[in-house]
Amino acid sequence: MEIWINPACSKCRSALTLLDAEGADYTVRRYLEDVPDEDEIRAVLDRLGLEPWDVTRTQEAAAKELGLRDWARDESARDRWITALAEHPKLIQRPIITADDGTALVARTDEAVQDALSRRKS
């Protein structure tokens, strides 16, 4: 599994602590440094079963500067949102875990991390 983190984020650090405590085999991706491109964002959104506006941190300064609150939230605007996330990765909700079973989840709670762990291949 892979976990997208911002090391400054307490939820990310908590998720890593739990993964370590469970002895999980995972790869860390510091997505602010190793920025996902638009195709990677699309793939993760597909795995999450979410739309880009569902994983956008709308309280970030960049979101306010871009006026994201006023952007359409429909299929016609999807690519625009994905481009914004690729160009401003700080807008991506975190942590995101891509589980071994092909799914992904936003792991902001211990329960979500446990859910990801339960999806490990036996």
Report the catalytic residues.
Answer: 9
Backbone φ and ψ for 78, nearest 5 degrees, come out as -55, -50
Query: CA dihedral in degrees (37, 42, 43, 46; nearest 10)?
Result: 160
Asked if residue 105 lies in contact with residue 15, where contact means CB atoms within 8 angstroms, the answer is no
How are beta strands 2-5 and 104-106 bridged, if at all? Answer: unpaired
- Return the axis-axis angle of helices 110-118 and 10-21, rounded to nearest 10°: 40
Nearest alpha carbon to residue 98 among 44, 19, 25: 44
